[in-house]
A and B are shown apart, each in its own frame.
Chain A
Amino acid sequence: EPEVTQTPSHQVTQMGQEVILRCVPISNHLYFYWYRQILGQKVEFLVSFYNNEISEKSEIFDDQFSVERPDGSNFTLKIRSTKLEDSAMYFCASTGGSYNSPLHFGNGTRLTVT
């Protein structure tokens, strides 16, 4: 069964550094997402992306964050000037785009900011 893949599985970075989290969504999917889960908290929506542009973003997704689909297969989340509170599990997800398409998640990237 096709799956969403994310790399790396674990990223450690120092405060103030930039990180790029990578995702390869399911190939025929049209909508792409980033969610995050801070340890012990709920999974939170960050951003959705369709047709090469952001379709919706949460209040968390400020100027520190950006997303890109550089080559038609990868979908990246860039976090500039990381802060301690950015430490979380970041999940990429994709759907086929119709109203009854389930959301498919990757296994996540655990980001640790020290």
Chain B
Amino acid sequence: KQEVTQIPAALSVPEGENLVLNCSFTDSAIYNLQWFRQDPGKGLTSLLLIQSSQREQTSGRLNASLDKSSGRSTLYIAASQPGDSATYLCAVEKNFNKFYFGSGTKLNVKP
């Protein structure tokens, strides 16, 4: 079974800092890896999807990397803002259309 771990569980940073969220998974045979944002009481918003053949994806201030052989992904957030405060979830697509989620990193960006 695929296990997905996210470190740290929580992170508090001052506004403007660059930060890295980590995700690791036990089985490297994956289709895709997707990063999501979850706001309290809300659904999950897709941020970035990296296909298994790709090394990284970028969207605005976000950059996600994937090292499939070592079972790791990172989400880099540049110049963090208070509006970035949320829980960030990593999800690995092990079988087509079945995703395994990590527990998330709860980010607080202080003004």
Task: Report how far A42 CA is from B4 CA in the complex, Å.
Answer: 10
Q: Which residues of B contact A106 (CB under 8 A)?
A: 43
Chain A: which residue is nearest B103 at the CB level?
A: A42
In the complex, whether A75 has a CB less than 8 A from a CB of chain B is no
> Is B95 in contact with A56, judged by CB distance below 8 angstroms?
yes
- How many residues of chain B get a CB closer than 8 Å to chain A's CBs? 25
Q: Give the shortest distance, in Å, between B52 (CB) and chain A (any CB).
A: 9
Q: Give the shortest distance, in Å, between A91 (CB) and chain B (any CB).
A: 6
- Given A43-B89, A56-B95, are A103 and B101 neighbors across the interface (CB < 8 Å)? no
Cβ contact of B34, chosen from A31, A33, A103, A107, cutoff 8 A: A103
- Given A42-B101, A55-B97, A95-B97, are A102 and B42 neighbors across the interface (CB < 8 Å)? no
Cβ contact of B46, chosen from A6, A45, A91, A102, cutoff 8 A: A102
Q: Which of B46, B51, B89, B102 has the most CB of A within 10 A?
A: B46
> Is A99 in contact with B98, judged by CB distance below 8 angstroms?
no
Task: Report how far A104 CA is from B49 CA in the complex, Å.
Answer: 11
> Is A104 in contact with B46, judged by CB distance below 8 angstroms?
yes
> Is B91 in contact with A91, judged by CB distance below 8 angstroms?
no
Interface residues of B in 8-25 (CB under 8 A from A): none
Task: Report how far A100 CA is from B93 CA in the complex, Å.
Answer: 11
> Is A102 in contact with B102, judged by CB distance below 8 angstroms?
no
Cβ contacts B26-58/A at 8 Å (1 or 0 each): 000001101010000111111001010000000
Task: Report how far A26 CA is from B45 CA in the complex, Å.
Answer: 14
Enumerate 8 A-B pairs (CB-CB under 8 Å) in ascending A order: A42-B4, A43-B44, A50-B97, A56-B95, A102-B34, A102-B49, A103-B34, A105-B43
Given A43-B44, A105-B36, 17 new contacts (CB under 8 A): A42-B4, A42-B101, A43-B89, A45-B98, A45-B100, A48-B98, A56-B97, A56-B98, A99-B96, A100-B32, A102-B34, A102-B49, A103-B34, A103-B91, A106-B43, A107-B43, A110-B41
